Structure 1
Amino acid sequence: MELILSLGIGVLVGSGTWLLFRPRTYQVIIGLALLSYAINLFIFSMGRLTVNAPPVIQPGTEIDPAAFADPIPQALVLTAIVIGFATTALFLVVLLATRGLTGTDHVDGKEDDR
């Protein structure tokens, strides 16, 4: 499970970094979104990956903190997802406005002369 999660985080970081270096604004925004997803998965994995663990403590049983996932990273990731969605929507609106004003979606504002 840890290997699959690590590979997923690595693919998201690699793809996001590659898209950040692209010349078009939309690709840069998608690259930032992929990097934020990778960071969210990394933070989520810091709360221990437990399989078949009970989410709620049963009454009358001995409490073993190592058997439960940490809820703090889960709450942080949930908050980061909402904030990331809002900022991505804001970036897309700014992208559309800039494209309407300049007529191009290149990062530097100039179209390639090819």
Structure 2
Amino acid sequence: MARTALTAQKFATLGLAPSYVTPDAAGVSFRSSGKQVLHVKNGSGSSITVTLKIGKTVEGQAVTAPTATVGAGADKFFGPFNDNYEQPDGTDTVFVDLSSVTSVTVACLSL
């Protein structure tokens, strides 16, 4: 399965009404310039875990990806993301995994 590729939606002076999508079970990806924020809305009856994939190694060793919980019926904003989160393929892409996507929607917002 491929990750859901998100397009950043830019904040505007006159307001932003973001569009949300249901992510693929493989997670989401988006291009980062250091100004992107991921909004995760959990409409399910259970908590989910969001894993922010680290794209760098330290002295050849993988770094443990940070995780956060989004409670049942809650939402959280993640980011902005520095270059440590960009995957090593040179595309400035950030990967985020979600433990469940049932009743979950996401949007990538850009400052």
| Same fold at TM > 0.5 | no
- Tell me which of the two structures has the higher relative contact order, counting C-alpha pairs closer than 8 angstroms and 6 or more residues apart: 2
Question: Of the two, which has the highest radius of gyration?
Answer: 1
Shorter-chain TM-score: which interval?
Answer: under 0.3
Q: Which has the larger helix fraction? A: 1
